[in-house]
Amino acid sequence: MTITDVAQHAGVSTAAVSKVMRNAYGVSTAMKEKVRAAIAELDYRPQAAARGMRGRTYTIGVLLDNIRNTFFADILDGIRDELHASEYTVLIGAAGFGADAQSKTIQSMADRQMDGLILIAPSTPRAEVLAMAETTPTVVIGHHDPSDLHDSVVDADGAGAGLVVDHLVSLGHRKITLVSAQGARSSKWTRTPEIVLTSGYTEAMGRHGLGDQTTVCRVAYSDEGGYKAGMSLLAGEDRPTAVMAGADVAALGVWRAAHELGLRVPEDVSIVGYNNTAVADLATVQLTSVDQAGHNMGATAARLLIERVESRRDHAVQTSMTPRLVVRRSTDAPALRPCPADHSSGMERA
């Protein structure tokens, strides 16, 4: 079955079929319905390799590091919803946290002639991403570093950290600790989400006269990373009264550590996450968290990418989401309570 067969079946030109398949501008709704009906009736499926030789494969590659981070599901939902009426197919590369593995995955996507790439907070060296963006339309989600080569979708992470600190201070907390990602200095990204988040946290603590209470514990944004941080921070007598984590998945790991140590949330320690994932709103969780509009970030990234893939725009843009604090039951005023026995795990802060 060929595109010519589809055109004859629909009673239109092959150029019209091509325009519908490319979701091109200027095609009427009636034409779209006629062509798509013919495609369905004939069970026509254009070969990706053949389409690639003509200049487009209608595939979009999405790179992420951790499929267990539910915030990425929100981003992917946004990408999917934005592209659902188009001919583009989304293929996901879950490469892990390592820069080498991520670089390999990105190169594999390019080798398979994907039309564009969406990279979610990549740890791949910035120089490699810039080199890829010169030949393949690319959107980077998370990193604030400006670029003339790729589009960016970010959250105002500094402002988000300020919302959390302001909220906790208003409840009476003074000893507030941030759990943030480790990052990779060798990657040469200078304004990653964790860097901007830490800067916002430090500025907000200083604004409240709490600069001497500023503490940052660096671990991976995962349940295990949060658990490690929680065991390190909460086991001793001089523990913080509130912990803010840069991702919900890490905040839940801190919560798990608190539970094992016999601490109650929020009576003994308040915990705040970041991302406002669906898990945060579960009745048994009710985690206070910063909503950074993950679905909107994904949809925006997909829209920007297709604009570049289809040559509707030739300059790079950076779009920023406005964070919003969603207060739930995991935060409350600090209470003076007897410290539990020392259950130190022996872990050191990263």
Q: 135: Cβ–Cβ under 8 A, 6 or more apart, which residues?
A: 110
- Tell me what the pLDDT averaged over the chain comes to: 89
Q: In angstroms, rounded to a whole number, what is the distance separating the alpha carbons of residues 193 and 144?
A: 7
Decide if pLDDT at 274 tops 50.
Answer: yes
List 153's β-bridge partners, or say none: 141, 319
3-state secondary structure of 217: strand
- Chain centre to alpha carbon of residue 80: 14
Q: In angstroms, rounded to a whole number, what is the distance separating the alpha carbons of residues 44 and 14?
A: 14
Q: How confident is the model at residue 349 (pLDDT cuts 50, 70, 90)?
A: very low
- The reported pLDDT for the residue numbered 114 is 92
- The reported pLDDT for the residue numbered 55 is 57
Render pLDDT for 176-231 as a digit per residue (tens, 0 to 9).
Answer: 999 999 876 668 899 999 999 999 999 999 999 999 999 999 999 999 999 999 99
Is the pTM value of this prediction over 0.95?
no
- The reported pLDDT for the residue numbered 113 is 86
Render pLDDT for 161-173 as a digit per residue (tens, 0 to 9).
Answer: 999 999 999 999 9
Decide if pLDDT at 287 tops 50.
Answer: yes
Answer left, alpha or beta for residue 119, where phi above 0 means left and psi between -120 and 50 means alpha.
beta
Tell me whether the omega of the peptide bond preceding residue 122 falls within 30 degrees of 0, making it cis: no
List 117's β-bridge partners, or say none: 61, 138
Decide if pLDDT at 47 tops 70.
Answer: no
Mean predicted confidence (pLDDT) in 36-51: 74
Strands 59-64 and 89-94: parallel
166, amino acid identity: D
Render pLDDT for 60-87 as a digit per residue (tens, 0 to 9).
Answer: 999 998 787 889 999 999 999 999 988 8
The residue with greater pLDDT, 47 or 137, is: 137
Q: How confident is the model at residue 112 (pLDDT cuts 50, 70, 90)?
A: confident
Contact call for residues 10 and 34 (beta carbons, < 8 A): yes
- Exposed, middle or buried by CB within 10 Å (0-12, 13-18, 19+), for 99? middle
* Residue 11: both structure tokens together: 């009673």
213, amino acid identity: Q
114, amino acid identity: M
Contact call for residues 251 and 222 (beta carbons, < 8 A): no
Q: How confident is the model at residue 39 (pLDDT cuts 50, 70, 90)?
A: confident
Strands 288-291 and 324-326: antiparallel
HSE of 234, CA atoms in CB hemisphere, 13 A? 29
Decide if pLDDT at 18 tops 90.
Answer: no
Decide if pLDDT at 54 tops 50.
Answer: no
- The reported pLDDT for the residue numbered 178 is 98
Mean predicted confidence (pLDDT) in 44-55: 56
- The reported pLDDT for the residue numbered 186 is 66
Render pLDDT for 232-265 as a digit per residue (tens, 0 to 9).
Answer: 999 988 999 999 999 999 999 999 999 999 999 9
3-state secondary structure of 305: helix
185, amino acid identity: R
Decide if pLDDT at 337 tops 60.
Answer: no
Decide if pLDDT at 347 tops 60.
Answer: no
Q: In angstroms, rounded to a whole number, what is the distance separating the alpha carbons of residues 327 and 137?
A: 38
- The reported pLDDT for the residue numbered 143 is 95
Report which of 294, 321, 328, 227 is spatially closest to residue 70, judged by C-alpha positions: 294
What percentage of residues in the chain have a pLDDT greater than 70?
A: 91
Sheet with 242-245, edge to edge strand ranges: 215-218, 176-180, 242-245, 270-275, 288-291, 324-326
Helix (H) or strand (E) holding 138: strand 138-141
What percentage of residues in the chain have a pLDDT greater than 90?
A: 66
Q: How confident is the model at residue 97 (pLDDT cuts 50, 70, 90)?
A: confident
- The reported pLDDT for the residue numbered 350 is 34
- The reported pLDDT for the residue numbered 192 is 93
